[in-house]
A and B are shown apart, each in its own frame.
Chain A
Amino acid sequence: MRRSLLLALLVAANLHAAEVRVLAAASLTDVLQDIAKQYQKSAYDQIVFSFGASNLLARQIEAGAPADLFLSADERSMSRVKTIAKVNMLTNSLVVVVPADGHTMKTSRDLLKMKTIALAEPSSVPAGIYAREWLESQKLWTAIAPRVVPTDNVRSALAAVAAGNADAAIVYKTDAMVSKKVRVTYRATNGPRIVYPFALLKDAKQPQAARRFLNYLKGPSARAIFVRHGFDVLP
C-alpha cells in the first residue's frame, strides 16, 4: 500500500516536472552548470542549457527556437528579443590571457608584442564588442586589428591560447579562471561597462518553471556560486 502511494506521488511529480530551456552566454558555461546541479537537488524541473555567443542565441530566439530563459552577456543582444521579466544580474571585466609560458604585459601597449590575438568576433559577439571598445579607448584598435583572429565565441578565443595557437586573447576575467593552461597577464581596469541581463522570454513554453529557476538565480545560494566563479553580482 505504501509503496504504490510512493509510486503514485513520483508519477504525479514527474507529470508536473518541466523541461526549462535556458539559452545562455558562453562565458556562463561553468557557473550555470554548477548552479543547475545545486538547483536540481531539490527541484523536479529539468534545466536544459544551450551555450553560445549571445548575439547568435538572440538570433535563434528571433527565428523561433524554443527557449524559456535568455541569459545574455550584453544588453544589445537582449534588446532583440521579447521579454517579460528582465533583470541586470551580473557584471564582469576583461583580461588579457597568454599561454603559461607567454609574454608578460606591463602596460596595454605591450599587446603590440603579440603576433596573433584571439578575440570573439568583434563586430557581433559581446565579448568581442567589449574588447574592441576597450582597445579603441586605449587607441590600440587600429594597430591591433590586422593581428586579430576572430572566433565564434569567447571560449574559442580562450581555447586558442590554451592550445598555444594564439599569443594572447582578450576574454572575461571569469573565463581565465576556467583554464589552467593560460595565465592572466593584464587586467583591463578602465574597460567598458559589462552588464549581463537575464530575462524570462515572452514565448516561453514553461513560464512557471522558468520563473522558479530565474528566482533561484537571483537567490543567495546562486549568488554564492556566481561569486566563487569570479562574477560580480549587481545589487
Chain B
Amino acid sequence: MSSPDLQILGLTLRTAALATLLIVPPGLAVAWLLARKRWRGKSLVETFVALPLVMPPVATGLILLELFGRRGPIGSWLPFDVVFTWRAVVLAMMVMSFPLLVRAARVAFEEVDPRLERIAQTLGARDARVFFTITLPLAMRGILSGVLLAFARAIGEFGATILVAGNIPGRTMTLSLAIYNLVQLGRDADAFRLLGIAVVIAFLAVWTTEAFLRRRA
C-alpha cells in the first residue's frame, strides 16, 4: 500500500470510528426507549429514525447540505465550517449509520426478558442499575452486532458524503469516494487496488467481531 493509500485508509477508519463512537450513547438510549416505553408520538419517532435507511442516500446528503451549509439553519450558528470538511464526513456517516444501530439494539433490548429486570427491581435496584447490570449485559451480543453494522456502513458511506463533504483529497476523500474518483478518471487498475483494500477491511471487521462474539457466548 502506498502512502496516499494509507492516508485514505487512515482518514476512512478515523472518521468511521469517531462517527460510530458518537452515535452509541444516543443510539442505545433511543433503542431502549423504543423497546421498553410507550408514549404518544412514538411511531413518529420510529419513522423519523428509520428515514435515512429508506431515503436515497443522496437525498439525505442534500438535506444535510441545506442544514449544515454556511448559510443553513444549523451551519450558520456553528463557529466552524462543516460542509467540505472532515466534520461533514463524520456527520454523513453518523446519520446513515444511526438507524442501523438503533434497529439492532432495539431488537437486542426487546429480547431481554423483562421479568429479569422486574426481579432486579424487587431486589432494590434503581433504573440505572437495572440497565447497566441486567439489560445491557444481556443485550450486549445484539448491540455489538449493531455497532459492527454501523461501523461497516460508515466505512462504505458514499451518497450522502459526496454531496455534503465533497471529494477533497486528504480532507474528505474516504475509501468509497477515492474508488469513485479513480473510476471517473479512468484509472481502473488503481480503483481495483483500493477495492481490494476495502474488501480486506470488511473481512477483518466481520471476522474479529464474530470471533469476539463467539468467545462471549
Touch A–B, Cβ below 8 Å: yes
A123 partner residues in chain B, CB cutoff 8 A: 185
* B69 contacts chain A at the CB level, 8 A cutoff: yes
Please give the distance in Å from B206's CB to the nearest CB on chain A.
32
Whole-angstrom distance between the alpha carbons of A216 and B186 in the complex?
33
Decide yes or no: A165 and B185 within 8 Å by CB, A116-B84, A149-B166, A151-B166 being known contacts: no
List CB contacts (< 8 Å) of B148-193 with chain A.
166-169, 181, 184-186
List CB contacts (< 8 Å) of B33-88 with chain A.
65, 69-71, 81, 83-84
**Interface contact B69-A149, CB-CB below 8 Å:** no
Most chain A Cβ neighbours within 10 Å, of B166, B167, B185: B166
**Interface contact A149-B70, CB-CB below 8 Å:** no
Whole-angstrom distance between the alpha carbons of A160 and B168 in the complex?
14
List CB contacts (< 8 Å) of A151-191 with chain B.
151-152, 160, 163-166
Please give the distance in Å from B89's CB to the nearest CB on chain A.
13
**Interface contact B184-A149, CB-CB below 8 Å:** no
B186 partner residues in chain A, CB cutoff 8 A: 59
At the interface, is chain B mostly helix, strand, loop or mixed?
loop
Decide yes or no: A124 and B166 within 8 Å by CB, A164-B70, A165-B69 being known contacts: no
* A56 contacts chain B at the CB level, 8 A cutoff: yes
* A207 contacts chain B at the CB level, 8 A cutoff: no
Whole-angstrom distance between the alpha carbons of A166 and B184 in the complex?
23
**Interface contact B83-A165, CB-CB below 8 Å:** yes
Whole-angstrom distance between the alpha carbons of A163 and B169 in the complex?
22
List CB contacts (< 8 Å) of A115-135 with chain B.
116, 121, 123-124
Please give the distance in Å from B38's CB to the nearest CB on chain A.
42
Choose among A150, A152, A164 the residue that contacts B168 (Cβ–Cβ < 8 A): A150
Decide yes or no: A165 and B70 within 8 Å by CB, A56-B184, A123-B185, A149-B84 being known contacts: yes
**Interface contact B69-A163, CB-CB below 8 Å:** yes
Most chain B Cβ neighbours within 10 Å, of A121, A124, A149, A151: A149
Residue of A nearest to B83 (CB): A165
In order of increasing CB-CB distance, the 8 nearest A-B pairs are: A164-B71, A164-B70, A165-B83, A165-B69, A149-B84, A149-B166, A124-B185, A163-B69
Chain B residues with a Cβ under 8 A of chain A? 65, 69-71, 81, 83-84, 166-169, 181, 184-186
A149-B166, A149-B168, A163-B65 given. 15 additional CB < 8 A pairs? A116-B81, A116-B84, A121-B184, A123-B185, A150-B166, A150-B167, A150-B168, A150-B169, A160-B166, A163-B69, A164-B69, A164-B70, A164-B71, A165-B65, A166-B84
